[in-house]
Amino acid sequence: MVFLSKLVASLVAVSVASVKAGTILWDGSFTAYPNSSTFDQWSWGNQVGQYQWYIHGSQPTSRYLAVDSSYKNPAATKEARGLKMTIDSSALWNGQTMARTELIPQTKANLGTGTQYYHFSMMRSNTNPPNFQTEHQINFFESHALEFKIGVGGTTNLQWFAGGSSRWSTPWTAGTWYNFAYEINFSSNTAALWASTGGAALTKVTSNISVTVSTNSADWHLGVLRVQGSGVTSDFYFSGVYIESGSITTAIGSGVTTPEPTQPEPTSQEPTQEPTPTSTATGPAQTQWGQCGGIGYTGPVACAGSFKCVKLNDFYSQCQ
């Protein structure tokens, strides 16, 4: 027991020490998902990739999830593709009567400690639009401490809820990308919302709100729960999904795959060049969080510096 608690204490010390400004804790980019079948590689017995995929209806995955370069925020230049997520009358999960299509981070990272920023961009179209008369819960924690909603409170706005109260809202215009980050301080139990549209940098749009948010790192749902299972087929688009600690990355498209420092480096300290690997590999080395392998991949396979190429699934390996 003493040994174990010492081990835990040292692990905590290491993880705290390694948290820097803009450190990506979990990368939910769909660059790792060349087609909807890739989501099916995940199962309870084979927990691979960046997403758990079990909250969905009875039809094949392609009915609920589709990936394409046209489904991302064009400002997310470092991502290959975005996600189209669909709910329809078949999207009933586990005997429930609500329509649900939801992805959950697959990670060993602690997504519930210190101050973290949960980033995502979302869009809706006039094709298969949501029914704004029906309650939908979007990108929510299982506790519903933080979430977006439509179809509640007599408004057709997209509303951000913290602690069960609407704190911020916007009309949800079709074809416009809305970028968000949930700022969550798990130590002080406060949260705030950052928002922008298109390629504009995120700005903080609420004050810090007292709300008890805790997570086991596997109960934040990227997806949509429609309270009524019956009803129209609706599509929702997502890209730019990642979670970081340290200070927030406000630039859209810069936080995923190859994060850049959010603060300018002091000019007296020139960043040192990463040493070129001494292997026979030619061409550039991939930077941290960049792709370094996978079926169909033709880019750099060597990782810069001390980063290692880690296989996430058959289609995607990443420098970490």
Ligand X SMILES: *[C@@H]1O[C@H](CO)[C@@H](O)[C@H](O)[C@H]1NC(C)=O
Q: Which residues make up the interface to ligand X (CB under 6 A)?
A: 34-35, 37, 115, 183, 185, 187-188, 190, 192, 208, 295-296, 315
CB-nearer residue toward ligand X: 165 or 188: 188
Nearest approach, Cβ of 31 to ligand X (angstroms)? 12
CA neighbor of 247 nearest in space, from 292, 297, 202:
202
Choose between 229 and 255: whose C-beta lies nearer to ligand X: 255
d(CA 271, CA 318): 23
What is the smallest separation between the CB atom of 268 and ligand X, expressed in angstroms?
26
Tell me the C-alpha distance between 140 and 136, whole Å: 10
Tell me how far, at minimum, the Cβ of 261 lies from ligand X, in Å: 17
Residue 87 is encoded by which pair of tokens?
A: 């709910």
Per DSSP, 259 falls in state -
CA 301 to CA 165: how far, in whole Å? 48
Nearer to ligand X, 65 or 123 (CB): 65
Cβ 304 to ligand X, closest distance in Å? 26
Beta carbon of residue 118, minimum distance to ligand X (angstroms, whole number): 13
Residue whose entry in the numeric block shows the structure tokens 């590689």:
41
Q: Report yes or no: 69 and 83 within 8 Å, Cβ to Cβ.
A: no
Q: Tell me phi and psi for residue 105, to 5 degrees.
A: -55, 135
- The nearest distance, CB 172 to ligand X, in angstroms, is 26
**Planar angle of CA 153, 194, 107, nearest 5 degrees:** 100
The Cα–Cα gap between 147 and 145 comes to 7
Judged by DSSP in three states, 281 sits in coil
Which CB atom, from 18 or from 269, has the smaller least distance to ligand X? 18
Residue 287 or 313: the one with the smaller Cβ distance to ligand X is 313
With vertex at residue 52, the alpha carbon angle to CA 73 and CA 19, rounded to the nearest 5 degrees, is 70
- Of 231, 238, 221, the closest CA to residue 101 belongs to 221
What's the min distance (Å) between Cβ of 145 and ligand X?
15
Nearer to ligand X, 156 or 206 (CB): 206
Closest CB to ligand X among residues 61, 170: 61
CA distance 229 to 211: 29
Instruction: Tell me how far, at minimum, the Cβ of 262 lies from ligand X, in Å.
Output: 13
Helices and strands per DSSP (H, E), number in the chain: 1, 19
Q: With respect to ligand X, which residue has the nearer C-beta, 178 or 186?
A: 186
